[in-house]
Chains A and B, each alone.
Chain A
Amino acid sequence: MFASIRRTLALAIRIVRQFVRDKRTLALLFLAPLLIMTLLNFVLGSSGSNSLTLAVVPPPGLGHDAIQQAISKGLAKAKGVQVIYIDADQVDAKLRAGDANAALIFPPDFVSATSVGAQPSVTLRLDGSNPPAAEQAKTLVTFALVSLNRSAGAQPGDPSAAPVALHTSYLYGGPQYTQTDALAPLFIGLFAFFFVFLLASVAFLRERSQGTLERILVSPLSRTELTLGYVLGFMLFATLQSLVILGFVIYVLRVHYAGNLWLLFLVTLALTIGGVNMGIFASAFARNELQVIQFIPLLIVPQALLGGLFFPVNTLPVVLKQLAYIMPLTWANFALRDVMLKGLGFSDIWPDLAFLVGFAILMVVISAISLRQERA
Chain B
Amino acid sequence: MVDSSAAGAALVTTRHLVKVFGKTRALDDVSIEVNAGETFGLIGPNGSGKTTLIRTLLGIAAPTSGEALLLGQRMPNRAVSRQVGYMSQASVLYSDLSVQENLAFFGALYGLRGKRLAQRIGETLELVDLADRRGVAVGVLSGGMRQRISLAAALIHQPRVLFLDEPTVGIDPELRLEFWDYFARLNQQGVTIMVSTHTLEEATRCHRLALLRFGKLIALDTPAALLAASGQQDFDHAFLYYARRDASADAAGAARPLAQQ
Contact = CB atoms under 8 A, between A and B. Distances in A.
Contact of B105 (A14, A210, A376): A14
Interface of B: 21, 55, 58-62, 76, 78, 81-82, 84, 86, 88, 90, 92-94, 96-97, 101, 104-106, 108-111, 113, 137, 153
B61 A18 contact: no
Contacts of B94: 14, 18, 212
A375 B76 contact: yes
Nearest to A226: B109
A10 B92 contact: no
Given A214-B88, A375-B60, A219 B110 contact: yes
Nearest to A22: B96
Q: Is the interface of A mostly helix, strand, loop or mixed?
A: helix
B58 A218 contact: yes
A210 B60 CA distance: 15
Given A218-B60, A219-B109, A375-B59, A18 B78 contact: no
A167 interface: no
Contact of B101 (A17, A22, A221, A222): A17
Interface string A213-241: 01111111110000000000000000000
A6 interface: yes
Nearest to A2: B78
B82 A18 contact: no
A202 to B, nearest CB: 13
- Residue picked from A6, A10, A210, A376, most chain B C-beta under 10 Å: A10
Contacts of A220: 78, 81-82, 109-111
B88 A18 contact: no
- Residue picked from B60, B88, B113, most chain A C-beta under 10 Å: B60
Contact of B92 (A4, A17, A18, A212): A212
A6 B111 CA distance: 8
Contacts of B109: 7, 10-11, 216, 219-221
A212 B97 CA distance: 13
A211 B60 CA distance: 12
B111 A7 contact: yes
A77 interface: no
Given A215-B86, A220-B78, A220-B111, A375 B61 contact: yes
B189 to A, nearest CB: 21
A4 B58 CA distance: 21
Contacts of A221: 109
Contacts of A17: 97, 101
A212 B86 CA distance: 11
Contacts of A11: 105, 109
A211 B76 contact: no
Interface of A: 4, 6-7, 10-11, 13-14, 17-18, 21-22, 210-212, 214-222, 374-376
B60 A219 contact: no
Nearest to A229: B109
Contacts of A6: 108, 111, 113
Nearest to A9: B108
Nearest to A222: B78
A198 B55 CA distance: 30
A372 B84 CA distance: 21
A25 to B, nearest CB: 10
Contacts of B81: 218-220
Contacts of A214: 55, 60, 88, 92
A6 to B, nearest CB: 7
11 contacts: A11-B105, A14-B94, A14-B101, A21-B137, A214-B55, A215-B106, A218-B58, A221-B109, A375-B60, A375-B61, A376-B62
Nearest to B77: A220
A4 B108 CA distance: 11
A10 B78 CA distance: 17
A21 B96 contact: yes
A7 B110 CA distance: 8
A346 to B, nearest CB: 37
Given A220-B81, A375-B59, A375-B76, A215 B92 contact: yes
Contacts of A210: 90, 92
Contact of A219 (B88, B106, B113): B106
A221 B78 CA distance: 8
A212 B111 contact: no
Contacts of B104: 10
A10 B90 CA distance: 23
A206 to B, nearest CB: 9
B61 A218 contact: no
A7 B60 contact: no
- Residue picked from B82, B92, B153, most chain A C-beta under 10 Å: B92
Give 9 nearest A-B pairs by CB, closest first: A10-B108, A219-B109, A211-B92, A21-B96, A220-B78, A14-B105, A215-B92, A218-B86, A221-B109
Contacts of B153: 215
